[in-house]
Amino acid sequence: MRIAYLGPAGTFTEDALGEALGDVEFEPLRTDTVFDAIQAVVEGRADRALAPYENSIEGSVRGTLDILAFDAPNVAIVGEHDYPVRQHLITREGVGLGDIEAVLSHQQGLAQTARFLRENLAGVELRSVSSTAAAVRMVSESPRPWAAVGSRAAAQLYGCQILREGIQDERNNVTRFVWLAPEGTAPAAGERWKTSLIFSELGEDRPGALVDALAEFSSRGINLSRIESRPQRSELGRYFFFLDADGSLEDVGVAAAIAALRTKAESVRILGSYPII
C-alpha cells in the first residue's frame, strides 16, 4: 500500500503514521504539502493519505477542511488516529535562548506554542514554513542563530539540540489525523462509528434555519460531536457547515437525519462513515 503524507522526514505526521501502522509495511510517499498528499489520492498515485484534521488546542486544521471541500470531491475519510504532540524548541549546538533571532515552524506549531514564545521570546520574529521538519532543517543549515518548533525525531535527524522540551501551551496537546482514500473504499471494522459530512445553503436566510437543520439529528437522539462553518468563497456570508455525527450511515436514525437534511440544504456531501478509535 502506498501512503502519502506531509514530508520531509521528521514531521509529526510521519511520527503519527508510524504509531498508527506499527509494524505494517507500506510504501511512503512524502509530499511538500498536505494538499499534495491528498491530491496523490485524487490522482491515483497513492492508496491512502494521512492528513491532520483537528488539534485539541487550535481546533480544526482549516487547510485540510478546505481541501476536502473544494479540491477532493472523490476522496473519503475511512478512519482516524489521535496523536499526542510534544513540541520542542530546537537550535543548532551552542545557540542559547538569548541568542535566538527568529523562530521557524509550521503555522500549527507556532500556534500551539504561542504562550511559551510570547513569554520567553518576546519580540523575536516568528516565521511560518511548510512543515516542522523543514523548519528544523533550515535551522540546521543556517549560520544565523535561529530556532525551530518541532519534533525530537527532526532534531535527531538534522543534528540539532533540544533547547527546551515540551513547550506546547497545553499538556494534553492531541492532533487528530484522518485516513483518506478513494471514494468507495471500505473502512475497517469497528464497534463505534462516526459520520462526517458537509452541507451548505439552507434556502431563504431566516432566523433558526441552522437550528432546524441540526434538529433533524437531535430529534432522533443523534449526538453531533463537532460542527464548524467555513466560507464558500463565492461571496460574503455564504458558508459550508462541517458536521461529525455519532453513528454509521447504516444506522436508521443517521440515515433518516441525513435524508431529511437533504430536503433543507442545497447540497449535502458525505465525507465518510468510519470507526472511532
**Which residues are catalytically annotated?**
175, 177
List beta partners, residue 242. 198, 228
Buried b vs exposed e over 11-45: b needs ≥16 C-beta within 10 Å?
bbbbbbbeebeeeeeeeebbbeebbbbbbbbbeee
Q: Go through the chain and tell me how many residues it has.
A: 277
Q: Residue 148 corresponds to which cell in the numbers above?
A: 525551530
Distance, C-alpha 170 to centroid of its chain? 18
| Alpha carbon separation from 63 to 54, 104, 129, 143, 225 (Å, rounded) | 10, 19, 14, 32, 20
Measured distance CA(28)–CA(2) in Å, rounded: 6
